[in-house]
Amino acid sequence: MSVAPVIAARRDTGGALIGYLPVGFPDLQTSIDAAVTLLENGVDAIELGAPYSDPVMDGPVIQAATEQARARGFRFRHVPEAVAAIRERVDAPVLVMAYWNLVLQYGVDRFADDVAAAGGAGLITPDLIPDEAAEWIAASDRTGLDRVFLAAPSSSDARLRSVVESSRGFVYTVSTMGVTGARHEVDAAARSLVSRLRGAGVENACVGLGISTADQVRSVLEYADGAIVGSAFVTALAEGGLDALGAKARELSSGARANR
């Protein structure tokens, strides 16, 4: 189930809200319940983050959550299991976000087959560039999975064109240089970067890193196709459980339904 049709369907109603949660936090079953909670409370698609020992892109909130997941027994094989469990309960796109070494160790073709069989939408690769992604491009073409590459404010025009041409589903548009985490102001560089991606022919540009309020969601969706929220949801889950997570999802989704 590709995420692209869901993003397209939301264009006339404000824009898409995409939520990120780590698999296995605070435990595997609760992480599955948490993803379902987001999808039942206004979030349009889910990114399931695979905990990793060297999460170079993750901020302190997500790092703490992934460290707890790993300490409690998370294994990468749990990712397709979680995707399948979520898709059994909710008809919505579920993407995996994983550092490339995890996929290599698991087996690229095996991973693609297992995620596709579980009903997953595709893979976001924060540390894989299109130039080095031939094996994943072939596997995702074979299985029909989305492949989401990242674009950053520092990316050259040539790199942006490569990212746009190689991505399927959307381009993950990094709003600011650095790591994930809620910020009081989403970097204004995001608007410029989305404009550059439009010039490179992007169909769907979704902005992430630092979005934590309904106003920020609303602001991002004035120029982007989707807003990605991670740390704010992880914090809600950590501090208040599923009830607080559902409330946060409803709060942020109000920003995604306010532009039209």
DSSP H or E stretch at residue 103 = helix 100-106
Cα–Cα distance for residue pair 198/205, rounded to 1 Å: 8
Distance (Å, whole) CA 50 – CA 70: 10
Catalytic residue among 44, 47, 114, 146: 47
Distance CA 159, CA 142 (A): 24
Exposure of 145 in the CB half-sphere (CA atoms within 13 A): 32
Residue 15 DSSP code: -
Judge whether 88 counts as a catalytic residue: no
DSSP class of residue 82 equals H
Rounded Cα gap, residues 89 and 129, in angstroms:
33
Burial 196-205 (b: 16+ CB within 10 A, else e): bbeebebbbb
Q: Are 112 and 145 in contact (CB under 8 A)?
A: yes
Catalytic position from the list 58, 114, 146, 225: 58
Cα dist from 208 to 70, 80, 103, 112, 183, whole Å: 24, 24, 22, 24, 11
Angle, alpha carbons 132-192-7 (nearest 5°): 70
Q: Is 81 a catalytic residue?
A: no
Here the tokens at position 82 are 């979680």
Residues noted as catalytic:
47, 58
